[in-house]
Amino acid sequence: MFGRKNHMERREPVLGAPAGFGDLRLSADDRPTLADSSHARTSGKTGGKPGSSKTRSAKSAVRGRASDPDRPPRQRRGARRGLLGRLFYWGVVLGIWALIGLVGFVAYEANQLPPIQNLAVPERPPTVIIQGADGKTIATRGEMRGSSIPLRALPPYLPQAFVAIEDRRFYEHFGLDPIGLARAVFVNLTTGRLQGGSTLTQQLAKNLFLTPERSLSRKVQELVLSLWLETKYTKNEILELYMNRVYFGAGAYGVEAAAQRYFGKSARAVTLPEAAMLAGLVKSPSSLAPTRNLEGAQARAEIVLAAMEDAGFITADMEKLALSRPAVVAKNAGVDPSGYAADWVSEQLKTLIGPITQDVVVQTTIDPALQAVADKALKDALAKSGKKLGVEQGALVVLDTDGGVRALVGGRSYEESQYNRAVSARRQPGSAFKPFVYLTAMERGLTPETVREDAPVQIKGWRPENFSKEYRGPVDLRTALALSLNTVAVRLALEVGPAEVIKTAHRLGIASKLEPNASIALGTSEVSVLELASAYAPFANGGIGITPHVIERVRDGSGKILYSYASPSRGMVMAPPHVAMMNSMMQQTLLTGTARRADLPGWPAAGKTGTSQDYRDAWFVGYTGRFVTGVWLGNDDSSPTKKAGGSGLPVEIWSQVMKAAHNGLPVAPLPGTGAGNPAPGALPPGDVPEDPVVTGGPQPPASKPATLDNWLIDKLFGRN
């Protein structure tokens, strides 16, 4: 028995059992020796029973060795499991509370939105379509500035371009794209490049309902609205809304307005390269607008084409062909020749039809071809000679003899400045105001043959001088006006009275306040280009007062007429005899006077140049029996130019524009200067306007020389 037991005590440990786990095995050094065994047996025989103190000591020794700190026990394993369990438990608890908080935050932000049952996609803001006299659209105005176009009317690659570059999984997600969002986060963290994870639906929700503010609150509301859009509309309806509302730069909202703006065509007709460029603009419309950054827009379009090919929307051959023919902006794209006129139209609409709550079509008197010529003529002249003459700005108005505005240019560049210098700015007209002085004199009995003294004159310390600083002595009024003699104009103004001159100017169409002083004869009171040209119209049409207008009619989307221009008759503001006299005198300005450089072959024309003090303003207003055109050049800050006068650049611009205006029209004589014109000094028959217009025969011979001194004596002492 002993030998067998000893054999069992020497059994080897189980291989692979880790120390401290499973059966506890003793090493060879710990095994009891033969002597120990004998002692144990002896002890047993002498009373060593189970449960004795010696037995308990042995067990304690074994337990003590098992709890040695160098050997991981079961108790430590249990402690570790307890710690992990507690961490897991509190992690779950905190996760649940975080989820509850997130749900509560989302619910709160959703509550800030209008009730879902009352939520609706806002109507697209009304668009004002402005047409020229020929019925063709020349501009669009309104908050969105463009018409909406159905998705089915677009070439398929146009909406595909937006999906490929903006939201590849558009037709798969539910408004929020977790995969796309995770991808964006990964790219942002690993590359440092900022990549958005918003879907087309989220972008539309932001455009329709929210402000551009970047905040967690707005992002949550955007998500809620995106989910609502996805349940309310089909994918194609969402895409159509998006493409008709998104901003493309250069003031173009919606794909139709953008296509017209950049390519001069409808979105229905854009090519694949053009579609790619439009889709690429959405990322950064202001900086990528092809009118200002064509290379950047083309580079972005290449990325869009690659995305379309990768998505399977186009083939590799189609991509290659599109890359070989990159989109370019249309000629004059970004240039808005009708910008100033269109803005002026928009300003008048509320007065004519009240608040605009629907799309309207406005037909104007603007001649698109003439408008383009006028805009180009002003730009080219300033580009060629503006710097040399110290002139930075200009304005121009063309009127027909009924008052219809055929062209209006308010500055050298509408893109750089929208301030309308033709309508809003008021400047000193200089000698271009003199016709009202001479007309007042004609209405008081003088004629073109009346003689007045061209000599130095002094009025309370003021000494007006002629441009040449030379004096001709006695001179007839026809010559004095043609040569723009300042001393004669001042004498006439004092002779008839500055207040009467002002009445004449207001009667013909000047609306601005004019100061009743002697210097009024030299155009020191400020007027606008539009009103000065309007006041010349009665000379061109035979004496009929006109009201300048640009809007002929306004219709709603169904064609219903909301407004139609009815010419408010101002009647005769000038008697035909005086029309004939003034036209014969002002015709000499172009034949022998200060506007000899005017070039309008075959057409009888008349007009007057003007230059204000220190060459601050240069004017020419000229007319035929068909049109009146006024041109102004100067600087916005009223700084002096480098001797830019009315007889120079303004006359050149006028000639270029008037040639285009009269192209193909039958020649019309100036009123009172055609066949059967009266002989000098005689008055033709005709109706006489009401007071204060005065008619009469030639001035009777003066008993004394018509000098300023004699005139002053007559006025002061009542001597006739």
Residues with catalytic roles: 166, 431
Sole residue written with tokens 């307890």:
82
Taking the CB of residue 514, how many other CB atoms lie within 10 A of it?
Answer: 22
Taking the CB of residue 545, how many other CB atoms lie within 10 A of it?
Answer: 21
Give the C-alpha separation, 349 to 339, whole Å: 16
Give the C-alpha separation, 597 to 607, whole Å: 12
CB 536 within 8 A of CB 510: no
Residue 409, token pair as written in the block: 């240019």
628's CB contacts (< 8 A; 6+ apart) are 398, 399, 400, 401, 533, 534, 536, 537, 540, 621, 622
How many residues are recorded in the chain? 720
**Secondary structure letter of residue 560 according to DSSP:** -
Give the C-alpha separation, 626 to 639, whole Å: 35
Burial of 128 (0-12, 13-18, 19+ CB in 10 A): buried
The interaxial angle of helices 434-443 and 486-496, nearest 10 deg, is: 50
Give the C-alpha separation, 230 to 238, whole Å: 8
CB 287 within 8 A of CB 313: no
- In a 3-state reduction of DSSP, which class is residue 321? helix
Strand 627-634 to 128-131 pairing: unpaired
CB 438 within 8 A of CB 481: yes
Give the C-alpha separation, 713 to 720, whole Å: 9
Residue 156, token pair as written in the block: 């398929």
Give the C-alpha separation, 289 to 277, whole Å: 9
- In a 3-state reduction of DSSP, which class is residue 263? helix
Strand 128-131 to 360-364 pairing: parallel
Identity at 329, one-letter amino acid code: V
Helices (H), 575-707: 576-591, 649-662
Instruction: Tell me the three-class secondary structure of 268-285, residue by residue.
Output: HHCCHHHHHHHHHHCCCH
CB 373 within 8 A of CB 658: no
CB 713 within 8 A of CB 719: yes
273's CB contacts (< 8 A; 6+ apart) are 301, 305, 322, 323, 325, 326, 327
- In a 3-state reduction of DSSP, which class is residue 390? coil
Give the C-alpha separation, 585 to 488, whole Å: 14
Q: Return the sign of the alpha-carbon dihedral for residues 635, 638, 644, 645.
A: positive
CB 130 within 8 A of CB 362: yes
Give the C-alpha separation, 129 to 693, whole Å: 43
The interaxial angle of helices 272-281 and 157-166, nearest 10 deg, is: 40
Question: C-alpha angle 508/512/514, rounded to 5°?
Answer: 90
Give the C-alpha separation, 325 to 17, whole Å: 76
